[in-house]
Structure 1
Amino acid sequence: MRQISPELKNHISGDLASMVTCWILTRRDGVRLAFTTHDKAIDFENLTFRPTNSFLPSAISSTNSLNVDNLAVHALLSSDGLTEKDIRAGLFDHGRISIFQVNWQDLSQGKLFIRSGWLGEFTLKDQNFTVEIRGLTQKLQQTIGDVYSPECRADLGGGDCHVNMEEFSVLGVITGGVGPDSFEDISRTEVDGWYDYGLVRFLRGANAGHRTEVRSFTGGNFILYDMPPEPMMVGDIYLVFAGCDKRSESCKNKFRNFQNYQGETAIPGTDSLYNYPGLK
């Protein structure tokens, strides 16, 4: 049950209510953005909620079961912190959101809590975006614990991996072959596939600070999984980390780290179901 002040409850029960919706976005870098459907800015809880008329929440679905609660928000891209560049750069990925209502004529009455959760999948189209909001029950849908697998479950360079990524990273400069999701560095002499599934981080240029994964690396040519938010240019400086395909052979020969391999190489495959006595 939602707890609200008696004053706010009486106001909502009246014939004429002056309720507006407010929402707070907290990006993964800690920046907080506050918006309201009111036509004027509202100062509430040490934040200034800027007016926006493009906030369109869908119907909220909540149940008393363990099903995932659903809510989607539709809004226009604007210069008030909701830019396509920041969304494509991943600054809002897994960010926090809190939605509530207040009486704009008397903010001392408190707020009516609506929903809080995490930002899910973004959809961009024609200067608009739609984002799914995942509630607390989303956490109950996640697998807790490890699952047996012939592939490694650890993240390269993570706590269970123990690979020193400084030994498998290099600085580079884009020298040509620039496309929407690709570039070339003629100084790269590593074997083909060395940076497949690796991570590239731009240090200088329009995409400084942006990170993305490498789809493939061949003869100094990088093809990325995602197109950076800004066009890449010759002379941009980047830092690239070698990639891991999760196979035991790569762990042993490429990273010399088989003692920390987090997979089970001897797990029987599905073909073992047919290897019963008398088959051969």
Structure 2
Amino acid sequence: MVAWIAPGLTTIALCWRLDRRDGVALGFTAHDRDLMIDGLAYRAAPGMLPSSISLSDGFEVDTLDISGALTSDAIRGDDLAAGRWDGARVRLFAIDWTDPASEALPLARGELGGVSLRDGAFTAELAGPTALLEQPVVEYTSPECRAELGDRRCRVDMTSRRRLVSLLEVMDSITYRIDAGAVGNAYGYGRLRWMEGPNAGLTSAILSSDGGWLTLREAPPATAVPGMLVEIGEGCDKSLATCAGRFANAVNFRGEPFLPGNDLLTRYPGA
């Protein structure tokens, strides 16, 4: 136990740090003034408070709700709606506000789940480390590959399969023409990363490609305009035929295309 919590008159300040997936880190505190802790400024945010903290020493899944008004310029409603804060890492701790350099008392940590917005306020659920226990221990069988193109199980080198291009034409919210061509549907099921504009840092799924045209699965949060710089990466439909014929990577295919399914049980002579 930290020493500063023992005296009868305590000087406890509640703090929490949020680290987004794009590298942005923010700090907030329930204290009435800003605190500098480990080189990060923790801004006073009295309108942003976590729910009561209840932790157990068992394997039950610990969760925590964080809610508050959108009072900070760093947390905006459009960023929350765009999903920039989904999956952000959160660390909640208590500190002695008279000596921010003293030892902190950790209270909870985890990742933000879905974020909901209503009447200028937000609510997010923090899932602790024990939430990992709810995930399946082993993978389910599937005819399609369960690896992601270019990951450590797939092992396809993506260096030459990603490129920076500019948008030449915006037909509608999901259809764009780029300044580079592609053979067939090479970028179908791939990813488009926005490098400029209001969508910078976000990623959109590519539904299909045809020459210099790309079609996204859904429209980005903000409107795209010609001239924007984006990064596009090739995709894979996760079939064995594509893995072997296009990528020559059948040895790393992570699926069971020839494993009989449950429909085999319904087959009988004369059916």
- Taking structure 2 as the reference length, the TM-score comes to 0.81
For 1:61-140, list aligned pairs within 5 A.
61-84=54-77, 86-87=79-80, 91-104=84-97, 110-140=103-133
What is the match of residue 149 of structure 1?
A: 142
Corresponding position of 1:263: 255
Q: Give the superposed CA RMSD.
A: 3.2
Pick from 165, 177, 183 the counterpart of residue 185 of structure 1: 177
Look up the match of 2:5.
Answer: 8
Structure-to-structure mapping, 1:219-234, within 5 angstroms: 220-225=213-218, 227-228=220-221, 230-234=222-226
C-alpha separation between the residues in 1 aligned to 2:82 and 2:73? 16
**Which segment drifts farther, 66-75 or 163-172?**
163-172
- For residue 273 of structure 1, report the CA deviation from its aligned partner: 1.5
Pair 147,170 (structure 1): closer, same or farther in 2 beyond 3 Å: same
Amino acid paired to 1:242: E
Matched-pair identity in %: 33
- 2:232 corresponds to 1:235: no
1:203-236 deviations in Å (ceiling 9; x for gaps) = 34444443221234467242243524x4211111
Counterpart code for 1:22 = C
Q: 1:89 to 1:164 in 2, by over 3 A?
A: farther
Query: For residues 81-136 of structure 1, what are the alpha-carbon distances to aligned partners after superposition, in whole Å with 9 as ceiling and x for unaligned?
Result: 32345546655443321212345356687544321222222224454332221111
Q: Shift of the alpha carbon at 1:73?
A: 0.6
Q: Contact 1:172–1:185 at 8 Å: present in 2 too?
A: no
The alpha carbon displacement at 1:270 in A equals 0.9
C-alpha distance in 2, partners of 1:26/1:189? 37
Q: Distance in 1 between matches of 2:178 and 2:64?
A: 48
TM-score by length of 1: 0.79
Per-residue CA deviations over 1:46-95 (Å, capped at 9, x if unaligned) read 54321112212123343343121111111333554323455466554433
Between 1:183-192 and 1:236-245, the stretch displaced more is 183-192
Letter in 2 for 1:40: R
Q: Deviations over 1:150-188 (max 9, x none)?
A: 110111012222323244344433233354x42320666
Whether contact under 8 Å (1:174, 1:183) holds in the other structure is no
186 and 198 in structure 1: CA distance in 2 versus 1, 3 angstrom threshold = closer
Contact 2:90 2:110 in 1 (8 A): yes
Cα distance in 1 for partners of 2:160, 2:41 equals 46
Match of 1:252 in 2: 244
Asked if structure 2 preserves the Cα contact closer than 8 Å seen for 1:36 and 1:50, the reply is: yes
Contact 1:213 1:226 survives alignment (8 Å) = no
Residue 35 (structure 1) aligned to one of 28, 33, 36: 28
> Shift of residue 237 of structure 1?
2.4
Displacement, 1:267? 0.9
Question: Aligned pairs, how many?
Answer: 270
Distance 1:158 1:43, change over 3 A: closer
The 5 Å alignment of 1:166-177 reads: 166-177=159-170
Structure 2 unaligned spans of 5+: none
Give the residue type in structure 2 aligned to 1:8.
I
